[in-house]
Amino acid sequence: MLTVSKTDLKDVLLFQLEHHEDHRGSYTQLYRKDEYSSLIKEQTGQEVEFLEDDFACSSKNVLRGIHGDDRTWKLVTCLSGRFYIVIVNCDESSADFGKWQKFILTKENGKQLLIPPMHGHG
């Protein structure tokens, strides 16, 4: 069962994926619309629909700049290796403007981050 927890940043959620492994290999469900929609609505009050699925692979020791926009919700997962990610509130009208939090995502820890609009990440 997918579990979710709140972070120090409003509407940034941390999901814990369920991973199954046996002699045949492993299986992890990365996304199921009804389950995620329900959990996101329950935790943030927002209705979120994902329209695009992208994959990025960075070379070792690459630092990508902080990026984001004012309308896109992002669900970030590590499929191989590990990465350090920082999320920062970029909404100048928010009392939490400039507040940030760091995370380490790995294939092994099975964590996903939900990043709301007006939050940069890199």
Tens-digit pLDDT profile for residues 44-102 = 999 999 988 888 888 988 888 999 999 999 999 999 999 999 999 999 999 999 999 99
Residue in this structure with the two tokens 């927002």, named with its chain if needed? 46
CATH topology of domain 3-53+66-121: Jelly Rolls (2.60.120)
Tens digits of residue pLDDT in 6-42: 999 999 999 999 999 999 999 999 999 999 999 999 9
Q: In angstroms, rounded to a whole number, what is the distance separating the alpha carbons of residues 78 and 58?
A: 11
- pTM for the structure as a whole: 0.91
What six digits make up the tokens of 108?
């092994």
Contacts 24+ apart (CB under 8 A), 21-30: 28/110, 29/2, 30/77, 30/112
Residue 63 confidence (pLDDT) = 85
Residue 89 confidence (pLDDT) = 98
